[in-house]
Structures are given as C-alpha cells and as structure tokens.
Amino acid sequence: MTVDTPEDLVGLLDAAGLTGRGGAAFSTAAKVRAAHGNGAHLVVNACDGEIGAVKDGYVVEHHLDELVHGARLVSGGGRRRRQVRFAAHRGSLTAHALGRAGLDVLEVPDRYVSSEETSLISLANGGLARPMTKRRPFVMGGTDQAGRRVPATVVLNAETVWRIAQVVERGPAWFRSFGTAREPGPRLVALTGAVARPGVLDTEAGVPMGDLLDAARPDPGWEHVVVGGLGGVLLTADDARSTTWSTAALARHGGAVGPGVIDVLDPSRCPLDVVTSFLTYAAGETAGQCGPCMFGVPSVAEAWRRLVETPSTRELEAVRAAAGLLPNRGACRFPDGVGRFAASALEVLHPHLAAHASGPCPTERSGHRVHRA
C-alpha cells in the first residue's frame, strides 16, 4: 500500500479497524490522527508491564525491522518526523536489544505502574515514571501536576506499532481476514503459568480458548486461569474451555481480551493463596499518589488476607466493599483493574472459600501437596 500523506495512513488504519494491543483497545486510527494533528512525539511501549506479559519482547526479538518501520510511519517523514523513543524496563533483554539496534531507548523502572501511558510520558519529559492526571489526552500536550509543560506525546504498544506496518504492507482486507468484526486482525497472546509449552502465539480474537490452552499443554489437574493479568479476571477451567477468546465472550465473566495474557494457575497451589500473592503484589506496586492507589489497593489486599485466614460472610463482604470503592477514582486505571480482579476471584472461588470454612483445603483433598506462598 502507498502512504504519501498522514491522511493515507489514517485511512488505512481506519479501514483495517486496528485497535491498541496493550489492553485499552482504543482506535489506533484516532490516536495516529491526533498525533499527526498535534505534531506529537511517539513513545513505543515495549515494557511488558503486565504479570505474565512477554509479547512486547517477542515483537522486538522477531519483528524489529517492521516495528521500526511502523514507528517511522506514525512519526511522519522528512522534516515532519517527530521524536521516537522505545520504552523498555531498565536492564531487560528488550532494552538491550533495542539499544544494540541503535534506537533511542527510554529505560523504565521495573514497576507495574511505571509502564502506564502517562507514566511513560512523564518519564520521557524528565519527570518520574508515575501516572499523571489527564485533564485532556496528552497527545494534545498539557501540563503535569506541578504545572510544567508536557509536549504533545502519543504512546502506542509495541504490537500495535508492528501491526501498523503490517496493515500498510498487506492492506486492510488482509488484516480483517483475521479475528471478528468487532475485534479484527491478528493478535498475540502470551500463555504462561502451569503449562508445558509457555510462549507467545500469533492468533486472533474469536478462537476457542480451549484451543489456545491445548497449544500450551496445561499441567494435569489444572482448575483455574487468569485472563488479562492483574487487571483481568479469574475463570474456572470449565468456563475457560467453554468460551472464546474475545471481549464479547469474556464480558460475560467481567473480562476482556486486554493485554493478551492467559496464566494457568498451578494446581498444586491453593487458588486463594495465589490470589493473595497477586493482590499483595498489587499493594506493593502502587504509585502512592492518589487515595484509591495509596490506600484502596492495600485495603483490598488486607481484606482478602483476612478472608482467607478466617472465611466468613463478614470478611467476604469486606472484600467486596473494598473492591467496589476502587473503580473510576484513580489517576490511572490500575485500581480499576485490581477491583475487577478481586471481584472475579470472589465469585469464582466462593465454593473454595466455603470449603475452607468447613474443612481442609479442596486442593489438599484432591491429592495435591499444597504449596503455600
């Protein structure tokens, strides 16, 4: 496909229906249009910031030339080209690979919220890698909390930028030959956890999740899977195998395709303990800037710990209440995701909690030697 003007690129992306592959699923055409209209700098997010995420590193390792080409398409050509930086966790293999290729690497602290969109924009402009409150999209420019000017900057996930190059090279029709009408195009999924063949698959929305799981070969006796990482949902094995990997199907369980991570839980570990470890990690990764992050996320983790130690209706309601206070109140979406994950764990593990209240752990009764966190 020929791309002579920014409008040509936006038209191709709009026809393809490409959306962001980092989790938000926002229209890529709209972001690129805004970036061109405001002369925005570009940050390519290759941080793999979600638990179990490895697909950004996969793109850098296997498709670096196309990734760079996609970044150049977004940043414009000739005199109009804006600054392009590639974000990766400090000291990671991805950061080293990008540096060896002679690219401008923005090295990011290895913290969960440090790779959030506004955290990267802050870091790229000399601030801390912490989320900033959006008064308007930073693709239009703005100011940080201290009132300092932030130039127009757009952040795109590494897979998204690679897919931009594919759309230009192969065309929107090719792109739409994969996926569903609502979620078109090929997309990567990382399969991790208690599986014999962990790794990254190039697949598409709408495929049976059971097929993805079979490709990874889960450990015998597995019972639960986390779809979407720390901001995702917990599913039983039966629910996972009976649904498709699409946002429309996962919405029935409160989830979405999200950042493209499927994590099979170790069947020898009590799932309540696994959720405890997830929420404890979340409590330690907050940016400490706003109430929902500084106090709300740790309160959910603490309420969950008390529930596991002493299962009761009172403690269950305490978790539900703490999780319910998180959505739509933080500077970023981190508290929203933690609340969603905790709520799904409550629903899915309710039978397991009831069994704990009246006797030994069901994982132990099933013949597994329970590994405690």
Tokens of 87: 């974000």
Please indicate, yes or no, whether residues 241 and 285 belong to a single structural domain of this protein: no
Q: Is residue 104 part of a domain?
A: yes
Please indicate, yes or no, whether residues 78 and 188 belong to a single structural domain of this protein: no
Question: Last residue of some domain: 217, 248, 264?
Answer: 264
Please indicate, yes or no, whether residues 76 and 159 belong to a single structural domain of this protein: yes
Q: Is residue 332 part of a domain?
A: yes
Distance CA 113, CA 49 (A): 8
Please indicate, yes or no, whether residues 152 and 188 belong to a single structural domain of this protein: no
Q: What is the pLDDT along the chain (373 residues), one digit of tens a residue?
A: 778 888 999 999 999 999 999 988 899 999 999 999 999 999 999 999 999 999 999 999 999 999 999 999 999 854 456 889 999 999 999 999 999 999 999 999 999 999 999 999 999 999 999 988 877 889 999 888 778 899 999 999 999 999 999 999 999 999 999 999 999 999 999 999 999 999 999 999 999 999 999 999 999 999 999 999 999 999 999 999 999 999 999 999 999 999 999 999 999 999 999 999 999 999 988 777 777 778 889 999 999 999 999 988 999 999 999 998 887 776 677 888 899 999 999 999 999 998 988 888 888 655 544 444 4
DSSP sequence for 79-119:
GGPPPEEEEEETT-HHHHHHHHTT--EEEE-S-GGGGSHHH
Q: Identify the pLDDT of residue 365.
A: 56
Please indicate, yes or no, whether residues 259 and 293 belong to a single structural domain of this protein: no
Tally of CB atoms within 10 A around 45: 28
DSSP sequence for 40-80:
-EEEEE----STT--HHHHHHHH-HHHHHHHHHHHH-SGGG
Distance CA 290, CA 130 (A): 11
Tally of CB atoms within 10 A around 74: 27
Q: How far, in whole angstroms, is CA 361 from its chain's centroid?
A: 31
Q: Identify the pLDDT of residue 334.
A: 84
Q: Identify the pLDDT of residue 330.
A: 67
Distance CA 144, CA 127 (A): 9
Please indicate, yes or no, whether residues 257 and 324 belong to a single structural domain of this protein: no
Please indicate, yes or no, whether residues 118 and 79 belong to a single structural domain of this protein: yes
Please indicate, yes or no, whether residues 165 and 313 belong to a single structural domain of this protein: no
Please indicate, yes or no, whether residues 28 and 160 belong to a single structural domain of this protein: yes
Q: Is residue 68 part of a domain?
A: yes
Query: Which residue reads 């990011």 in tokens?
Result: 108
Please indicate, yes or no, whether residues 113 and 196 belong to a single structural domain of this protein: no
User: How many helices (H) and strands (E) are present in the chain, helices listed first?
Assistant: 18, 11
Q: Is residue 372 part of a domain?
A: no
Distance CA 163, CA 165 (A): 5
Question: Last residue of some domain: 241, 264, 287?
Answer: 264
Q: Is residue 1 part of a domain?
A: no
Distance CA 94, CA 61 (A): 8
Distance CA 264, CA 227 (A): 9
CA distances from 193 to 49, 52, 196, 265, 356 (A): 16, 8, 9, 6, 24
Please indicate, yes or no, whether residues 280 and 352 belong to a single structural domain of this protein: yes
CATH number at residue 207: 3.10.20.600
Report the Cα–Cα distance between both ends of the chain, in Å, rounded: 53
Q: Identify the pLDDT of residue 325.
A: 84
Domain with 207, as residue range(s), is: 178-264
Q: Identify the pLDDT of residue 82.
A: 81
CATH number at residue 21: 3.40.50.11540
Element (H or E) spanning 199, and its range?
Answer: strand 199-204
* CB-based contact 193:235 (threshold 8 Å): no
Q: Is residue 371 part of a domain?
A: no
DSSP-H helix ranges across 125-208: 158-170, 172-176
Number of domains in the chain: 3
DSSP sequence for 302-360:
HHHHHHHHS--HHHHHHHHHHHHT-TT-SSSSHHHHHHHHHHHHHHHTHHHHHHHHHSS
Please indicate, yes or no, whether residues 59 and 189 belong to a single structural domain of this protein: no
CA 167-140-115 angle, 5° bins: 70
Q: Is residue 370 part of a domain?
A: no
Beta-carbon-side half-sphere exposure of residue 236 (alpha carbons within 13 Å)? 10
Q: Is residue 373 part of a domain?
A: no
Question: Last residue of some domain: 113, 140, 172?
Answer: 172
Q: Identify the pLDDT of residue 180.
A: 97
Distance CA 230, CA 59 (A): 22
CA distances from 294 to 33, 108, 280, 317, 321 (A): 35, 21, 13, 21, 17
Report strand pairing: 199-204 vs 186-193: antiparallel
Q: Identify the pLDDT of residue 358.
A: 82
